[in-house]
Amino acid sequence: MTAAAASVLRRSAVELVGSAALTAVVVGSGIAAVRLTDDAGIQLLVNSLATAFGLFLLITVLAPLSGAHFNPVVTLADLASGSRGVRDVAPYIAAQLLGCVAGSMLANLMFDLPPAAWSGTHRITPGHLLAEVVATAGLVFVVFALARTGRSHFAAAVVATYIGAAYFFTSSTSFANPAITVGRMFTDTFAGIAPASAPLFIAMQLVGAAAGYLAVRLLVVETRGRVGTATG
């Protein structure tokens, strides 16, 4: 194996681990929240806080190793920006998808549930679909605005804050990630999404990612010579 191939494999493995950990946080905290209280608002607050804290930790620790994307739209936008090589894209996205499914199954097992069960939570409404466009566009804009202005060192805090807020200001609770959308199909719990709802969610996320990236290119003046990775 060449050094370049070994580097891609190592970074993809980091993406798999990070994606699995993030999904376990999202799904596990959702299960815990439902078991702790019957109040839907508190359940969502618990889920959002745990997700924000988990994102901050994972980006801080793993960004120097892989860029800490954990999200195919971030990887694709990184490719479009010129920071990520074509050879990284397929391994990264495959690792993110596999990691998110594994993380969902891990969360199920930690709470004594079957490792995989299709979610019965149908989420398709016009408002939810628009919310996924908005949530994903905002995420991509935040990540790449920081990168283009040389402030990627703030990404852990800013991305975590954005996602924590988006749980509440979007009706869809801000999935904003095709891989985690796939992973959340495998848990019939608070954070789940029915398989029938996932394709349109993913389509809207891709639309949002394109809109967010276009907005960055139009509105943000690059103040460094190289954009760098999306989150590190």
> What pLDDT was estimated at residue 83?
77
Mean pLDDT of the chain: 94
Which three-class secondary structure state does DSSP give residue 222? Answer: coil
CA atoms within 13 A on the CB side of 200: 15
Share of the chain above pLDDT 90, in %: 90
Q: Which fold has domain 3-219?
A: Glycerol uptake facilitator protein (1.20.1080)
Lowest mean pLDDT of 4-13, 59-68, 79-88, name the range: 79-88
Residue pLDDT, tens place only, 27-48: 999 999 999 999 999 999 999 9
**Is residue 59 a contact partner of residue 138, using CB atoms and an 8 Å limit?**
no
**DSSP state for residue 154 in the 8-state scheme:** G
Overall average pLDDT of the 107-122 stretch: 98
pLDDT band at 232 (very low <50, low <70, confident <90, very high): very low
So where are the chain's domains?
3-219
- Confidence check: pLDDT of 231 > 60: no
> What pLDDT was estimated at residue 185?
98
> What pLDDT was estimated at residue 23?
98
> What pLDDT was estimated at residue 4?
84
126-148 vs 72-81: helix axis angle to the nearest 10? 40
CA 154 to chain centre: 17
**DSSP letter for each residue of 8-28:** HHHHHHHHHHHHHHHHHHHHH
pTM, full prediction: 0.93
pLDDT band at 220 (very low <50, low <70, confident <90, very high): very high
Overall average pLDDT of the 161-165 stretch: 98
